[in-house]
Structure 1
Amino acid sequence: MNVLIIEDVRHNADRLTRLLNSSFDDITVYGPLPSIADIRRFFNEPEKIDLILADIRLSDGLSFDALKDIPGDIPVIFTTAYDEYAIKAFHYNGIAYLLKPVDKEELVEAVEKSRRMITPSATKEIAEIYRLLQGKPEVYRQRFLIAEKDGYITVPVSEISYISAESGLARIYLKNERQYHIDMALDDIDTQLDPLQFFRATRRHIVSISSVRRISNWFNRKIRIILTEYPDAEIVVGKDKVTRLKQWLDR
């Protein structure tokens, strides 16, 4: 597996290289590339890269300026300091990211995840993240139109406590304890909701920040979310999402 490191701080790049070499026997590390110009020069030559580890802010601009134009569908794991726009973008597009200083276990998990990824268009997602980082406003869903036996009702997203995938359909749980099925996939709903207000806690659950009463430690470094209106709901966040959950709550 060929991994390219994009990083303009040498000791950060050296640390990533050490972590990769100590964790995997089958990885060849390329780079580091410290600038946008270096990235463009690198991809002018035919070199097979299976994964990119990229810092966002380089000395001469955003790495997206170069990455959005690279050929092929190469998965990208971003290494970054906390950035509200970046976190929003990653949540929206589902691209992995690691906060600095990079934790070895999180790096290993992200690399293993990239091996399993089937990326239809990584470059398209990078272009979308680049657009979000420029501060252009995003329009999110404000309400759902839900069918009832004698017509339809509208449900504002502000009234939602959480959404669950059940038997192939999504079920909305409202703060007034009413529930409705909607004929949409949870993945589609997730991309339409404001990531500052809603969090994809598990493959089967999206939760509203206004309904989170508390979070509690769970087995194997997982976290359970306790909701105000539905305290018995079993919503347990995997350890790979715990950091993102805490950042989402701590705004």
Structure 2
Amino acid sequence: MNILVIEDEKHNADRLIRLLEDTVEDARVHGPLASVAETRGFFRKAPAIDLILADIRLTDGLSFDGLQDIPDNVPVIFTTAYDEYALKAFNYNGIAYLLKPIEKDELVEAIEKSRLMFTPTSATKEIAEIYRLLQNKSEAYRQRFLIADRDGYITVPVSEVSYISAESGIARLFMKDRQQYTVEMSLDDIDAQLDPAQFFRATRQQIVNISSVRRVSNWFNRRIKIIVAEYPDIEVVVGREKVVRLKQWLDR
């Protein structure tokens, strides 16, 4: 079983690898990878991985950004000290969410679940059920942004955001009324705080509100272009690795 470990704290990575080697007889451990950049580079080589154990907060951002292009049949067990990303995790092949310090029994149970769930007959049904159960939890998503104004501050509702773009580390909100606002947050942090049923991380630099998706068009190399209602001239092209996820998001 090829298992990839994504963890930026050495002592946590060492302990996790020891647990894997002690509990999974056929484990072949890869990593640990300590950053989003390392994760992207690893998957560009198209390695055969059966399971991923990933911390969420890495040295250069959230691991979600590095996991966007993983194959849909590779399960992910998230290992973290933070519980606010639980629902978000299940948009990235997440099958379990283990809070640190990780207990051996919990890890074994999660790995066994990965073996059972990611078979052709059961994967879709089981993941859908987990997602449904998590939806029933009281999960607070961001409702508005506080924006610095000339005379103080204003608030803008999240529902009025058409899409969000980041360039050179600066995030900008593009509103449905054509107003634009800069926010002092990374796109990773914004993405983690938005309702995944309402917003989709289309590219590494763009997040789109489903209410602003006018239509989608086939694009080159099996990619898809999103036409944003209020900004039809912008380029939002979804890579072929995320096309299935985009269609599932639109078809809910």
Q: TM-score, normalised by structure 2?
A: 0.56
C-alpha distance in structure 2 between counterparts of 1:152 and 1:126, whole Å:
30
Structure-2 separation of matches of 1:146 and 1:210: 22
Q: 1:241 to 1:95 in 2, by over 3 A?
A: closer
Structure 2 letter corresponding to 1:167: S
Mark the CA change 1:140 to 1:221 in structure 2 (over 3 Å): closer, same or farther.
same
Q: Report 1:1-251 matches (<5 A).
A: 3=2, 43=23, 47-50=27-30, 53=50, 74=53, 94=67, 98-99=71-72, 122-124=78-80, 128=86, 129=89, 130=96, 133=131, 134-135=133-134, 136-251=137-252
Cα distance, 1:168 vs. partner? Answer: 1.8
- Whole-angstrom distance in 2 between the partners of 1:46 and 1:250: 38
Pair 1:125–1:223, CA change in 2 (3 A):
farther
Identity %, equivalent residues: 52
Q: In the TM superposition, what whole-angstrom CA distance separates every residue of 1:96-137 from its partner, at most 9, and x where no partner exists?
A: 7655xx6xxxx7xx9xxx9xxxxxx94228984546755233
> Runs (4+) of structure 1 moved beyond 3 Å?
39-42, 44-48, 73-76, 90-99, 125-134
Q: Deviations over 1:138-193 (max 9, x none)?
A: 21000000001111110000000000002321000000000011111101100000
* Residues 92, 195 of structure 1: 8 Å contact kept: no
Q: Say which SS state the counterpart of residue 162 (structure 2) adopts.
A: strand
Deviation by residue 1:73-103 (Cα, 9 ceiling, x = unmatched)? 8459xxxxxxxxxxxxx9799577655xx6x
| Distance in 2 between residues matched to 1:156 and 1:176, nearest whole Å | 12
Aligned counterpart, 1:81: none
For the pair shown, which has the larger CA radius of gyration, 1 or 2?
1
How far the C-alpha of 1:46 sits from its partner, in A, is 9.3
User: Separation in 1 of the partners of 2:169 and 2:150?
Assistant: 21
Return the letter of the residue paired with 1:43: T
Q: 1:49 to 1:40 in 2, by over 3 A?
A: closer
Residues 74 and 126 of structure 1: is their aligned pair in 2 closer, same or farther, counting only changes over 3 Å? farther
Distance 1:91 1:194, change over 3 A: farther
Displacement, 1:42?
6.8
TM-score w.r.t. the length of structure 1 is: 0.56
SS in 2 for 1:123: strand
